[in-house]
């Protein structure tokens, strides 16, 4: 037999069988040879055509085939001869970024001169793909041949119109769709701007092109629902028989929703064309796509059933009911609330096969099936775990010990490869199923454990920062190599290693700094030198557009040092557009000279100088950028205070005083009046509102008219608890049982006041029973995952005693942390008994808060039914009573919003407006798809499907530096990141520029690295340096210099440092004791007297109404009251208010930099980006 037949026979045998081994031993020498390879290790250009021997042409791939067919061996003369002639033409090393001669279309047959010879554009294009895009060869070729070889394809619709791909036209006696014109133009090389293109465009533009509607006409959209269009039904449309789906597509592409055409079409054919599609699975069930079923004698997947086979089948039809009865059991299932985990303490042997569900399946399939179908703790789950864990689960090999971590920056030689990252071993163990304790695992641990593993430091202590000296931070010269730990390492690798492995005060860290600091560290060019960097402003520098932040980072990456000529030159150009001074007296939007400081309506949208933002974001911008007396601040207050600001409702109004400890009743619960004010504050009840007036009227007598009869001298009452008080805990006093609230009153009636011996004794006796420290993250009895449920008024047995769900809920909320075992146990034991899903009228739709309806003979607001009536009567979602209320009031209480592509739950993610994405066969930007989606309503099938398909591609959820959502970020805190001296703001902006999203591995890694430095918990009561013990605020001398913690800083700096501390914390109290007299001054009668050198004194002009148009308030005088000559010259220019209005505080200029566009654009860009 021939060698080929032997090879075919052996292809059915396993490699390690005796048959295979015997055949190799017998026939290898006769059948096998070392074939000549034209390119050896280089890449072969298979399709490249060359002039071959005997005046023939062949592709390089055909030459390679000749070697195989003629059994040309690698050491033969013929092999060497052919390689010498053709290797240079046919073989190349692939470039990283191949050179593309033309952006899209090429005149293939056009003759040009290339590489000194006559050639064609086609050959030149193929040869240039072997060159790098950035090479001189590529640039020269584009310059010399681009005009001849490249062209723009004819576009009959231009840039402003859309092509109707499916419209049918007659072209050259054939019927074609308009989408066919593009390949026709490509085959015939019809160029844009030519006569041929113009002739075709004139004839077919009106048929093939259209302006897309701003709000498309959706034939099957009703007031309450979005229906599907039949594809099998024909109707008469404009005198022609058309398929309903074609009519639907035409209307949605071409016709406005408010046009007569749209209304007429809906009126005439909606009933014939539109239907609610059949759903095989019920509302909460999950579709099983992989399961196979038999439909009319054909085996199909459930995916085909769910997507294709139910088209044109209407809900509630007999066909639909038949589908549901036949296939819901096979194709639908309930998703588990707590998925079953097959291997609870190990990894899954993915390829190992077991007998499962009547067949043979891999362990990976079993694990996935259980996770999708079975709840943890059920019989199915536990029995499967017991049956399959022995076979399917194993402890995966780990290179490092339990107390060690892998060094991702360390590299070893492994498996014949150099520079294998230690971090890749985990993937190697997983993909090869290497188990702990095996010989292979032990060998790898012994070989690489010492190099790859280290014992991590305790990050509660500062890590070793190579380029930090004292409090000064320097940048790492990342590319410099030094000898470190036995090998040459870059300074970046040295810095990262020290940061992970050594504490800052260790001898090892100090020795490393002494050794490597001179070689590795430098002070980068600082554009702003004490001023603040306006990170998002775009400027042009060295003929490149970049943000100021990117330039700052580039100075570090390019090793531009402080004091260098390049640095000084950059500062001269970039200081004004990139830098600004922080305000000395920050602008607070809702602070008024006449009405004090109000609160901000956080979510109200406003328009300010051409930008739409929220009141909260605008206030944040003003506080960080503008002075209280600045023109922009006064302009914002004048325009927006009415829209953005409100005074919080005062329980006692202007006529009464709050008696904190007076008891009162709210929603059938007894509160202290002071605690009732928290309810008002948390609900943002506004002064003067109907709700506020009602609360004042109801509670004035209890809370505001004087001390309660129970507590006649509450002013200096004995306060048992300094923080949390449990008013309803039971205690024994003088032999009588009572609550802590009653004890509070009894002590006052007996004359037990603060600072008395009796009070001290009461604190000792009762504080352990009546007092608690409020949890930072309270335990919510009725929370499951991200969803919170309502509480039943139900009696249950807990810890052996009968009690009420409300009592347990309040106890857990006031006493237990979310992560406490007691919280988890309580939730597990009582969730089913105490918690329920409260009926919602509108469910996923929007509730009209102010809508009025008549319910059971009483006029009620929709919000009253939703928030009070449902809860008071404990009406459960899905109950008959709930369904009746929903049916009765849905039309009057509920509405829908336009589809927003990037809204997910309560989160609004960022739309990547210019991101192109191919969807439904059409390539559009995400901005275009978003506009089209807005024509649908948020709960429609169209919207839900579109969001499901496009949200991953079009929506960006930014990565937060803090893992805890309740944390604040210290934006200007210095740290080392990626080997560079940075701030937390730098890190955040870097993540933004790289499009790192929340949940990405990179995001989680950065959070782990920087959150302990950049994030701090939001204080419950924020420390303010000049807040007195009775809660009033004194004036802060912001610019007065003081000695604080060994440094000379301003009182304003101290106040900023203390903003992350609690008001009653040691650091806050200590600073107030030390600096009160220097930093804090009581308000003076008659208004401002120039305290702190911030505001103009009484003798200075502060009449905003009389400022000249071209002069901002900051131009009037400097802080000493003297006229600034530079300012004067600047303000006398005839540029109106435009130039001075947007000038950063303290930054003077005699010209507008066109380099950074105009100041208005700078402001608008920075404002939009910050918001």
- Contact at 8 Å (CB) between 168 and 175? yes
Mean pLDDT comparison of 28-42, 447-461, 1005-1019, highest-scoring range: 28-42
State yes or no: pLDDT of 383 exceeds 80: yes
Confidence of residue 444 (pLDDT cuts 50, 70, 90): very high
Q: For residue 421, how many other CB atoms are within 10 A of its CB?
A: 16
**What's the CA gap between 220 and 262, in Å, rounded?**
11
**What's the CA gap between 270 and 263, in Å, rounded?**
10
Return the bridge partners of 854, or none: 859
Half-sphere exposure of 479 (CA within 13 A, CB side): 4
Closest to 513 (Cα-Cα) out of 488, 489, 495: 495
Give the dihedral sign, CA 403/408/411/412: positive
For residue range 654-663, list pLDDT tens digits in order. Answer: 777 777 777 7
State yes or no: pLDDT of 1159 exceeds 60: no
The stretch 1016-1029 carries a mean pLDDT of 73
The pLDDT of residue 268: 92
E-strand ranges in 422-509 read 453-454, 468-469, 472-473, 475-476, 481-484, 487-490
Return the bridge partners of 236, or none: 241
Return the bridge partners of 894, or none: 847
For residue range 315-364, list pLDDT tens digits in order. Answer: 889 989 998 898 988 888 888 888 888 988 778 888 889 998 888 889 98
How is residue 887 written in tokens? 């049916």
The pLDDT of residue 1165: 36
Q: What is the mean pLDDT of the chain?
A: 79
State yes or no: pLDDT of 1154 exceeds 50: no
- Contact at 8 Å (CB) between 676 and 665? no
Confidence of residue 593 (pLDDT cuts 50, 70, 90): low
Q: Which range among 161-165, 879-883, 985-989 shows the weakest confidence by mean pLDDT?
A: 985-989
State yes or no: pLDDT of 1091 exceeds 80: no
State yes or no: pLDDT of 253 exceeds 70: yes
160: left (phi over 0), alpha (psi -120 to 50) or beta: alpha
Instruction: Please state the three-class secondary structure of 840-891 as a single string.
Output: CCCCCCEECCCCEEEECCEEEEHHHHHHHHHHHCCCECCCHHHHHHHHHHHH
For residue range 761-807, list pLDDT tens digits in order. Answer: 888 888 888 887 778 788 888 887 767 888 887 888 877 777 788 77
How is residue 1109 written in tokens? 């148009």
Confidence of residue 1129 (pLDDT cuts 50, 70, 90): very low
Q: What interhelical angle do 121-128 and 136-149 show, nearest 10?
A: 160
**What's the CA gap between 296 and 399, in Å, rounded?**
56
Q: Which range among 39-43, 611-615, 1138-1142 shows the weakest confidence by mean pLDDT?
A: 1138-1142
Q: Is the pLDDT higher at 967 or at 319?
A: 319
How is residue 902 written in tokens? 């990037």
Confidence of residue 1036 (pLDDT cuts 50, 70, 90): confident
Residues 6+ apart with CB under 8 A from 735: none
649: left (phi over 0), alpha (psi -120 to 50) or beta: beta
Residues 6+ apart with CB under 8 A from 29: none
Q: Which uninterrupted H or E stretch holds 1140? A: helix 1138-1141
The pLDDT of residue 1101: 36
Distance, CA of 172 to chain centre: 53
- Contact at 8 Å (CB) between 177 and 165? yes
Confidence of residue 669 (pLDDT cuts 50, 70, 90): low
Confidence of residue 616 (pLDDT cuts 50, 70, 90): confident
The pLDDT of residue 1142: 29
Q: Is the pLDDT higher at 399 or at 1019?
A: 399
Q: If DSSP codes are grouped into helix, strand and coil, which group holds residue 275?
A: strand
Q: Is the pLDDT higher at 642 or at 711?
A: 642
401: left (phi over 0), alpha (psi -120 to 50) or beta: beta
Confidence of residue 701 (pLDDT cuts 50, 70, 90): confident
**What's the CA gap between 632 and 645, in Å, rounded?**
17
Closest to 231 (Cα-Cα) out of 194, 274, 197: 274
Q: How far is CA 182 from CA 153, 188, 202, 206, 416, in A?
A: 8, 10, 16, 17, 51
Confidence of residue 710 (pLDDT cuts 50, 70, 90): low
The stretch 213-218 carries a mean pLDDT of 89
**What's the CA gap between 163 and 208, in Å, rounded?**
6
The stretch 289-307 carries a mean pLDDT of 84
CA dihedral of 384, 389, 390, 396, whole degrees rounded to 10? 170
Closest to 200 (Cα-Cα) out of 140, 154, 168: 154
For 1032, phi then psi, to 5°, come to -80, 160
**What's the CA gap between 1108 and 469, in Å, rounded?**
49
For residue range 810-833, list pLDDT tens digits in order. Answer: 778 877 888 787 788 888 888 888
For residue range 54-113, list pLDDT tens digits in order. Answer: 888 888 888 888 888 888 888 899 999 999 999 888 888 888 888 999 988 898 888 998
- Contact at 8 Å (CB) between 515 and 461? no
- Contact at 8 Å (CB) between 1023 and 1079? no
The pLDDT of residue 339: 86
The stretch 158-167 carries a mean pLDDT of 84
State yes or no: pLDDT of 150 exceeds 90: yes
Q: Which uninterrupted H or E stretch holds 354? A: strand 353-356
State yes or no: pLDDT of 1168 exceeds 50: no
The pLDDT of residue 1116: 35
State yes or no: pLDDT of 262 exceeds 90: yes
Q: For residue 534, how many other CB atoms are within 10 A of its CB?
A: 25
**What's the CA gap between 273 and 245, in Å, rounded?**
8
Q: Angle at Cα 652 formed by Cα 650 and Cα 658, nearest 5°?
A: 105
**What's the CA gap between 856 and 864, in Å, rounded?**
13
> Strand 521-522 vs strand 475-476: parallel, antiparallel, or unpaired?
antiparallel
State yes or no: pLDDT of 1115 exceeds 70: no
**What's the CA gap between 258 and 251, in Å, rounded?**
12
Residues 6+ apart with CB under 8 A from 267: none
The pLDDT of residue 273: 92
How is residue 155 written in tokens? 């576009």
The pLDDT of residue 1137: 27
**What's the CA gap between 1120 and 73, in Å, rounded?**
93
Q: Angle at Cα 578 formed by Cα 572 and Cα 582, nearest 5°?
A: 115
State yes or no: pLDDT of 949 exceeds 60: yes
For residue range 854-868, list pLDDT tens digits in order. Answer: 887 778 888 878 877
Return the bridge partners of 163, or none: 209
């Amino acid at each position: 037999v021939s060698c080929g037949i032997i090879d075919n026979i052996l292809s059915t045998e396993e490699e390690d069988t005796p048959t295979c081994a015997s055949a190799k031993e017998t026939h290898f020498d006769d059948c096998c040879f070392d074939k000549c390879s034209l390119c050896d290790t280089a890449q072969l250009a298979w399709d490249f055509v060359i002039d071959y021997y005997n005046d023939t042409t062949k592709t390089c791939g055909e030459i390679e085939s000749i070697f195989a067919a003629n059994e040309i061996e690698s050491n033969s003369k013929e092999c060497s001869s052919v390689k010498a002639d053709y290797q240079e033409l046919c073989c190349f090393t692939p470039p990283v970024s191949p050179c593309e001669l033309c952006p899209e279309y090429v005149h293939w047959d056009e003759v040009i001169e290339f590489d000194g010879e006559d050639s064609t554009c086609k050959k030149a294009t193929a040869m240039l793909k072997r060159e790098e895009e950035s090479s001189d060869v590529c640039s020269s070729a584009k310059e010399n041949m681009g005009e001849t070889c490249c062209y723009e394809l004819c576009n009959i619709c231009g840039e402003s119109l859309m092509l109707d791909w499916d419209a049918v036209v007659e072209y050259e006696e054939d019927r074609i769709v308009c989408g066919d014109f593009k390949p026709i133009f490509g085959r015939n090389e019809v160029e844009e701007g030519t006569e041929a293109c113009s002739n075709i465009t004139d004839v077919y533009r009106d048929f093939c092109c259209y302006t897309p509607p701003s709000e498309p006409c959706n034939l099957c959209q009703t007031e309450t629902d979005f229906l599907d269009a039949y594809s099998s039904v024909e109707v008469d449309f404009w005198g022609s028989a058309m398929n309903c789906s074609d009519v639907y597509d035409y209307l949605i592409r071409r016709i406005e929703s408010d046009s007569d055409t749209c209304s007429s079409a809906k009126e005439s054919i909606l009933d014939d064309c539109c239907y609610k599609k059949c759903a095989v699975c019920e509302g909460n069930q999950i579709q099983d796509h992989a399961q196979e079923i038999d439909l009319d004698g054909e085996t199909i997947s459930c995916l085909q059933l769910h997507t294709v086979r139910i088209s044109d089948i209407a809900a509630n039809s007999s066909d639909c009911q038949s589908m549901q009865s036949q296939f819901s059991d096979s194709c639908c299932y309930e998703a588990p609330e707590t998925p079953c985990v097959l291997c609870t303490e190990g990894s899954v042997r993915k390829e190992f096969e077991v007998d499962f569900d009547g067949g043979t399946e891999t362990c990976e399939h079993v694990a996935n099936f259980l996770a999708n179908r079975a709840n943890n703790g059920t019989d199915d789950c536990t029995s499967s775990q017991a049956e399959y864990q022995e076979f399917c689960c194993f402890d995966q090999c780990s290179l490092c010990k339990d107390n060690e971590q892998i060094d991702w920056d360390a590299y070893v030689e492994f498996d014949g490869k150099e520079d294998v990252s230690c971090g890749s071993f985990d993937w190697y163990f997983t993909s090869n199923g290497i188990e702990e304790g095996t010989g292979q695992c032990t060998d790898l641990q012994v070989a690489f454990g010492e190099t790859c593993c280290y014992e991590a430091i305790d990050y509660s202590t500062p890590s070793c920062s190579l380029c930090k000296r004292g409090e000064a931070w320097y940048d790492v010269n990342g590319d410099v190599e030094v000898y470190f730990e036995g090998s040459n390492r870059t300074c970046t690798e040295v810095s990262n290693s020290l940061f992970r492995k050594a504490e800052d005060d260790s001898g090892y860290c100090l020795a490393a700094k002494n050794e490597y600091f001179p070689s590795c560290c430098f002070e980068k060019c600082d554009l702003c030198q004490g001023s603040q960097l306006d990170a998002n402003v775009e400027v042009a520098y060295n003929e490149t557009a970049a943000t100021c932040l990117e330039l700052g980072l580039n100075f570090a990456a390019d090793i531009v040092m402080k004091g260098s000529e390049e640095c000084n030159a950059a500062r001269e150009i970039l200081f004004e557009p990139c830098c600004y001074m922080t305000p000395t007296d920050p602008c607070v939007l809702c602070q008024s000279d006449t009405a004090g400081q109000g609160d901000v309506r956080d979510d109200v949208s406003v328009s300010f100088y051409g930008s739409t933002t929220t009141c909260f974001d605008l206030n944040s911008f003003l506080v960080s950028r503008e002075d209280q007396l600045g023109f922009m601040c006064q302009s914002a207050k004048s325009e927006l205070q009415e829209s953005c600001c409100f005074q919080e409702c005062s329980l006692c109004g202007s006529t009464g005083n709050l008696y904190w400890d007076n008891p009162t009743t709210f929603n059938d619960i007894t509160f202290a009046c002071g605690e009732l004010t928290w309810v008002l504050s948390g609900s943002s009840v506004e002064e003067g509102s109907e709700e506020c007036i009602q609360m004042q009227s109801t509670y004035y007598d209890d809370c505001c008219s004087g001390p309660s009869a129970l507590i006649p001298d509450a002013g200096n009452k004995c306060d048992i608890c300094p923080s949390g008080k449990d008013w309803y805990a039971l205690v024994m006093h003088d032999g009588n049982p009572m609550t802590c609230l009653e004890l509070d009153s009894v002590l006052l009636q007996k004359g037990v006041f603060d600072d008395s011996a009796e009070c001290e004794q009461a604190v000792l006796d009762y504080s352990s029973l009546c007092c608690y420290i409020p949890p930072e993250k309270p335990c919510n009895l009725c929370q499951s995952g991200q969803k919170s449920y309502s509480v039943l008024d139900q009696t249950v047995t807990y810890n052996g005693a009968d009690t009420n769900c409300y009592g347990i809920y309040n106890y857990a909320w006031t006493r237990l942390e979310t992560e406490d075992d007691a919280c988890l146990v309580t939730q597990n034991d009582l969730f089913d008994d105490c918690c329920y899903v409260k009926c919602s009228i509108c469910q996923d739709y929007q509730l009209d808060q102010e809508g009025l309806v008549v319910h059971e003979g009483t006029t009620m607001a929709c919000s009253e039914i939703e928030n009070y009536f449902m809860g008071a009567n404990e009406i459960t979602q899905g109950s008959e009573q709930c369904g009746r209320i929903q049916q009765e009031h849905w039309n009057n209480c509920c509405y829908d919003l336009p589809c927003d592509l990037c809204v997910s739950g309560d989160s609004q993610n960022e739309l990547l407006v210019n991101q192109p994405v191919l969807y439904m066969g059409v390539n559009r930007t995400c901005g275009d798809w978003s506009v089209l989606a807005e024509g649908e309503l948020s709960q429609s099938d169209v919207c839900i499907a579109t969001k499901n398909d496009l949200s991953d591609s079009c929506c960006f959820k930014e990565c937060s530096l803090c893992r805890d959502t309740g944390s604040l970020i210290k934006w200007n805190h210095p740290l080392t990141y990626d080997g560079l001296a940075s701030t937390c703001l730098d890190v955040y902006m870097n993540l933004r520029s790289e499009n790192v999203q929340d949940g990405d591995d990179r995001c989680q890694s950065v959070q782990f690295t920087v959150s302990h430095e950049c994030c701090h918990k939001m204080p419950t009561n924020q420390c303010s340096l000049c807040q007195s013990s009775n809660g009033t605020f004194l004036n802060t001398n912001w610019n007065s210099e003081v000695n604080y913690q060994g440094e000379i800083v301003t009182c304003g700096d101290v106040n900023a440092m203390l903003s992350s501390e609690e008001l009653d914390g040691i650091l806050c109290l200590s600073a107030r004791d030390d600096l009160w007299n220097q930093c804090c001054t009581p308000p003076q009668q008659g208004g401002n007297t120039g305290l702190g050198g911030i505001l103009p004194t009484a003798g200075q002009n502060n009449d905003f109404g009389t400022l000249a148009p071209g002069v901002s308030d900051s131009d009037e005088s400097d802080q000493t009251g003297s006229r600034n000559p530079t300012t004067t010259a600047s303000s006398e220019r005839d540029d109106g208010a435009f130039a001075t209005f947007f000038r950063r505080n303290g930054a003077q200029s005699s010209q507008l930099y066109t380099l950074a566009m105009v100041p208005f654009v700078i402001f608008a860009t920075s404002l939009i980006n910050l918001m």
